[in-house]
A and B are shown apart, each in its own frame.
Chain A
């Protein structure tokens, strides 16, 4: 194999991609998804965690309290972010409708120390994102009340659970698992799918535009042609994945083991790209090849995420800096698959060579 020829083919295909500015779409797409993620982050966090908007001044919730006095009223009074108003239920609900209150609590007669359960009716606005906030706030207060009442009735419990005191903030919802366990692995493997779709296009195009014969009339062999195409699609992966890493870093997401991640993502992508190449060589028609490949891709994705220590899982672990188990072995497995698929591609190109 003449490396010069391979390089020339890669250059030809790359200039084709950059000339059409198609790569621009890939970058735009990347930015769009980044925007999507920040929408998820900022938008949803703000929705569910009003403290994240604390820079906008202190937030106070006005809550109507109706019915019997109870320890809950004392809790509402001591909470710094809640301003309770004792009032009549009908007035309170009317005020709530006009958004002059954030929520209304109604406590019927019945003392908490009694045998009976302590029941509270909570009125909140339907169809409002912000109503969810006050619900979360009241949840904290009612949880504290539940804990105290449970403590008072402890003699009635037959089994006492192991106690564990959590630091403040543990009850909040974080996005750590979503970012490191879902977003990062999926985003980093997205270029792999793009590149695999690209190699199918590059190969089938030569068949359908009937440019294969033209290229074959030059000293370039079929093997070199495919190698060049594989090279250009493979090189795009670390470039795109690297851009993802930079975008994530700019968003303030710290990622450890970046070099290892890039190597792993590139190796994993090589498997997909080789599969794309095999399918494209077999069908020599874009519609068929893309159809079969999308099915294969869905199967691989589904199958892979349901097995522990899959490449996406390893990326999640690497990115979060977790103590790693078995990742060397996984890498070896991927390497074996790559070698296997490469030999298959070589055999297929050999077959094409002799046919023509």
Chain B
């Protein structure tokens, strides 16, 4: 029987198993629920979100102010007598009072928020009055054409602790460009503003105030830019697309959901040793794993395609989803293999999916704004649907880590898909250690450790990119310190896991020369892996100050090697000398050494 046929057979079993478990009494319930879901979402779409209704209590002295509120549910309006309008709003239990054409908010956060919310509705009220004017240019005398100048995206703005165009040292005096000045033809002096077009634009910007955009106006869409080049001052808003949040849920949630079924399937093989025949069967482990995952992978692709068709996207947007699918499936496999019980499975998978979603989500909110957005494949989907498109390099940058980590997780799953690992119950940490240990070759442990160290680098990079995304736009000293400490801790923890796997592998532990060899090999593997992976990392990231901190690409080869070896040597000595009790102190020492080294690097880089 050929391998392909074997894969197909196992995939077929998996599909049959899926449908037999899901069939009994499930289909009618699922269909009924789906219908209810559709009805409810239809109702929800019409009725909107009611979480902030009646949030603010407002006192009015006259009914003349009622049009200001325009039916906004957030405000509960009370009439108060004119004579008492000079008392502070809080004395009535109100957040804000309008009297004599003046808005008096309560001196609390809530009062100020009420004033801000009312200001928005007041603006809407004003534009509803002004846009009905016969003489539209009397109502809207100022029109702005926004021209965007492209300057390459990088971290220079944030990393120097300064912001572009701000007065910074060395920038005093008259701004003189260093490069050649390219002549620009000034915009025409009489813009072609036609009253009809203008009215349309104003009305279009009015209707875009949905229940979602009200949460804060920084989530506004860039509607005016495309339809009409001129805007009123009120329409100016920074271009932050709100779409990405929706994309995350539309595309990522079904993928996560489907991967749950693989998780359960793997778990089922383990409960009551149900998977024993499968392991005993004369097929390769890799065949079993591929066969088991294949139906889910295809299912995910089908679901994504349907979603793409429904949202009007192009089918090319599937490409960025492939690494995400791989990543979710491989992690589902591992989670299914390490969990001891259903509740553990639930918690780990919820935890993992939150982290993964965050990793996909954070960068993509900077789509079109900052280079960091390219860390997430979701950004590519956004670009694809927007019609901007992306280059092959962009694809490589944003998906490489997903492909690599997904591949490594599959590898670990395959090497440990054995009776010994599937049917033993262990604590999570030791189970993970077991997985790594299983990947150590029985006769060539040193080569394996070196190889595994290289394989661990994508995970380290992923974690570090996460820190970068989380902290890069914090004020400067904080962002650098946070990234510095977390990056050091992650690297040392990963290296120490490899070391512990090595201790685990050899029943009598490591000899003293072994400790030294392991330190050198892990240090060397880390260095090599880093260098290899730097090729597929965005140059804007590696050349930023965060990059020099994370990857030490600026310094010579021997010093990072020494650092990595030193760190792991600390742990190795502690564990060798004091056993497992020495692990935590050794790790702390290693992290400290690493942090100090990083701090020195930073001083050197800043100087």
Is the beta-carbon distance between B44 and A303 smaller than 8 angstroms?
yes
Chain A interface: which of B3-11, B166-174, B492-500, B518-526?
B166-174
Smallest beta-carbon distance B64→chain A, Å? 6
Query: In this assembly, does B419 line the interface, its C-beta being within 8 Å of a C-beta of chain A?
Result: no
A198, B215: Cβ atoms under 8 Å? Answer: no
Enumerate chain A residues within 8 angstroms of B112, measured Cβ to Cβ: 169-170, 174, 176
Q: Does B146 contact A (CB under 8 A)?
A: yes
Taking a contact as CB atoms closer than 8 A, the residue among B119, B139, B215 that contacts A170 in the complex is: B119
Please determine whether B149 and A97 come into contact, CB atoms closer than 8 angstroms: yes
Residue A164 at the B interface, CB < 8 A?
Answer: yes
Q: Are A254 and B109 in contact (CB under 8 A)?
A: yes
In the bound complex, how far is the Cα of B355 from the Cα of A219, in angstroms?
43
In the complex, are the beta carbons of B47 and A307 less than 8 A apart?
Answer: yes
Question: Is the CB of B26 closer than 8 A to any CB of chain A?
Answer: yes
Residue ID in chain A nearest B235 by CB atoms: A139
Q: Which of A95, A121, A128 has the most CB of B within 10 A?
A: A128
Q: How far is the CA of A17 from the CA of B345 in the complex (A)?
A: 12
**For B341, what are the chain A residues with a Cβ–Cβ distance below 8 Å?**
16, 20, 201, 205
- Shortest CB distance B277–A (Å): 18
Of A101-109, A267-275, A332-340, the segment with at least 4 beta carbons within 8 Å of chain B is A101-109
Residues of A319-356 at the interface with B, using a CB-CB cut-off of 8 Å, are 320-323, 325
Q: How far is the CA of A323 from the CA of B75 in the complex (A)?
A: 12
Given contacts A130-B163, A161-B130, A176-B112, contact A295 B34 (CB under 8 A): yes
CB-based contact B470/A35 at 8 Å? yes
Q: How far is the CA of A102 from the CA of B546 in the complex (A)?
A: 24
Q: Smallest Cβ distance from A166 to chain B, in angstroms?
A: 5
Chain B residue numbers with a CB within 8 Å of A39 are: 362, 470
A209 at the interface (CB under 8 A from B): yes
Cβ–Cβ contact B41 & A302, under 8 A: yes
Contact A22 B137, beta carbon cutoff 8 Å? no
One digit per residue, 1 when the CB lies within 8 angstroms of any chain A CB and 0 when it does not, for chain B 127-161 equals 00110111101111111111111110100111001
Q: Does B368 contact A (CB under 8 A)?
A: yes
User: Which stretch, A2-10, A149-157, A220-228, A238-246, touches the partner chain B?
Assistant: A149-157
B189 and A109 within 8 A (CB): yes
- Taking a contact as CB atoms under 8 Å apart, the answer to whether B141 and A99 are in contact is no
Return the chain B residue nearest A60 by Cβ. B167
* Alpha-carbon distance A283/B347, docked complex (angstroms): 21
Q: Which residues of A are found within 8 Å of B214, using beta-carbon distances?
A: 177
Residues of B within 8 A of A249 (CB): none
> Is B369 interfacial (CB 8 A cutoff)?
yes
Q: Give residues 54-76 of B contacting A (CB, 8 Å).
A: 54-57, 64-65, 67-68, 73-74, 76
Cα distance A204–B264 in the bound complex, in angstroms: 13
A25 CB to nearest B CB, Å: 4
Alpha-carbon distance A46/B474, docked complex (angstroms) = 8
Sort chain B's interface into a size bin.
35 or more
List residues of chain B with CB within 8 A of the CB of A165: 101-103
Knowing A25-B347, A99-B156, say if A306 contacts B47 (CB, 8 Å): yes
The smallest beta-carbon distance between B337 and chain A, in angstroms, is 15
Interface 0/1 of A95-127, CB less than 8 Å to B = 111111111001011101001111111111111
On whether the beta carbons of B137 and A115 are closer than 8 Å, the reply is: yes
Secondary structure at the B interface, as helix, strand, loop or mixed, is mixed
A21 to B165, CA, bound (A): 51
Q: Is the CB of A124 within 8 A of B30?
A: no
B129 to A, closest residue via Cβ: A161
Residues in A neighbouring B427, C-beta threshold 8 A: 20-21
- Identify which of B118, B186, B230, B350 contacts A108 (C-beta below 8 A): B186
Check B103 against A122 for contact (C-beta < 8 Å).
no
Tell me the complex Cα distance, A218–B168, Å.
77
In contact, B65 and A162 (Cβ under 8 angstroms): yes
Q: Which residue of A lies closest to B239 (CB)?
A: A132
* CB closest residue in chain A, given B267: A286
Q: Given the interface contacts A117-B140, A128-B164, A156-B135, does A108 sit within 8 Å of B119 by beta carbon?
A: no
Q: Which of B101, B165, B238 contacts A100 (CB 8 A)?
A: B165
CA distance A325 to B158 in the complex (A): 47
When the two chains form their complex, are residues A142 and B475 in contact, meaning their CB atoms are under 8 A apart? no
Known: A66-B186, A286-B264. A167 touches B93 (CB 8 A): no
Q: How far is the CA of A43 from the CA of B362 in the complex (A)?
A: 11
Which stretch from B176-184, B325-333, B567-575 is at the chain A interface? B176-184
Nearest Cβ on chain B to A175's Cβ, whole angstroms: 7
Residues of chain B with a CB closer than 8 A to A77's CB: none
Q: Is the CB of B142 within 8 A of A181?
A: no
Q: Are A116 and B190 in contact (CB under 8 A)?
A: yes
Q: Which of A23, A44, A63 has the most CB of B within 10 A?
A: A44
Residues of A within 8 A of B272 (CB): 208-210
Which of B22, B55, B214, B370 has the most CB atoms of chain A within a 10 A radius of its CB?
B55
Main secondary structure of the interface of A (DSSP, over half): helix
User: In the assembly, what is the distance between CA of A59 and CA of B260, in Å?
Assistant: 50
Report B23-68 residues with CB < 8 Å from chain A CB.
25-26, 29-30, 33-34, 36-37, 40-41, 43-44, 47-57, 64-65, 67-68
Given contacts A56-B161, A127-B370, A130-B157, contact A286 B342 (CB under 8 A): yes
Given A50-B163, A134-B165, A181-B52, decide whether A129 and B157 contact each other with a Cβ distance below 8 A. yes
- Does chain A have a CB within 8 A of B348? yes
Please determine whether A128 and B369 come into contact, CB atoms closer than 8 angstroms: yes
Q: Which of B37, B122, B178 contacts A166 (CB 8 A)?
A: B122
Which B residues are CB-close (under 8 A) to A136? 236, 238
Could you say which residues of chain A place their CB within 8 Å of the CB of B180?
94
Q: Are A208 and B129 in contact (CB under 8 A)?
A: no
Closest chain B residue, CB of each to CB of A209: B271
Interface pair B157/A305, CB less than 8 Å apart: no
Provide the residues of chain B in CB contact with A142, threshold 8 Å: 142, 144, 233, 236
Distance of A273 from chain B, by nearest CB (Å): 14
- The CA of A294 and the CA of B151, in the complex, are separated in Å by 46
Does A197 have its Cβ within 8 Å of any Cβ on chain B?
A: yes
Q: Which residues of chain A come closer than 8 Å to B344, judged between CB atoms?
A: 20, 22
- Alpha-carbon gap, A230 to B100, bound state (A): 58
Inter-chain contacts of A317 with B (CB < 8 A)? 54-55
B316 to chain A: which residues have CB within 8 Å? Answer: none
B345-365 interface code vs A (CB 8 A; 1 in, 0 out):
111101100110010001000
A93-B149, A119-B230, A310-B50 given; A103·B165 CB < 8 A: yes
Task: Looking at the assembled complex, report how far the CB atom of B423 sits from the nearest CB atom of chain A, in whole angstroms.
Answer: 13
Q: Does B191 contact A (CB under 8 A)?
A: yes
| Smallest CB separation, A29 vs chain B (Å) | 5
Query: For residues 19 through 53 of chain A, which have their beta carbon under 8 Å from a beta carbon of chain B?
Result: 20-23, 25-26, 28-29, 32-33, 35-36, 39, 42-44, 46-48, 50, 53
* B411 beta carbon closer than 8 Å to chain A: no
Residues of B with C-beta under 8 A to A321: 110
Judged by a CB distance under 8 angstroms, whether B224 is at the interface is: no
Closest A residue to B38 by beta carbon equals A299
| Distance A159 CA – B54 CA, assembled complex (angstroms) | 30
Give CA–CA (A264, B148) in the complex, Å: 50
B280 proximal to A (CB < 8 A): no
Q: How far is the CB of A130 from chain B (nearest CB, A)?
A: 4
Residues of B within 8 A of A119 (CB): 142-145, 191, 193, 230
Which residues of A are found within 8 Å of B345, using beta-carbon distances? 201
Q: List 14 A-B contacts (CB under 8 A).
A: A43-B474, A48-B218, A56-B475, A108-B186, A118-B141, A120-B143, A122-B145, A129-B370, A153-B141, A157-B135, A162-B101, A170-B118, A287-B21, A288-B26
Q: Given known contacts A44-B218, A102-B163, A122-B145, what 11 new A-B pairs fall within 8 Å (CB)?
A: A16-B343, A46-B473, A47-B473, A56-B475, A93-B149, A121-B146, A152-B141, A157-B139, A164-B122, A165-B101, A291-B22
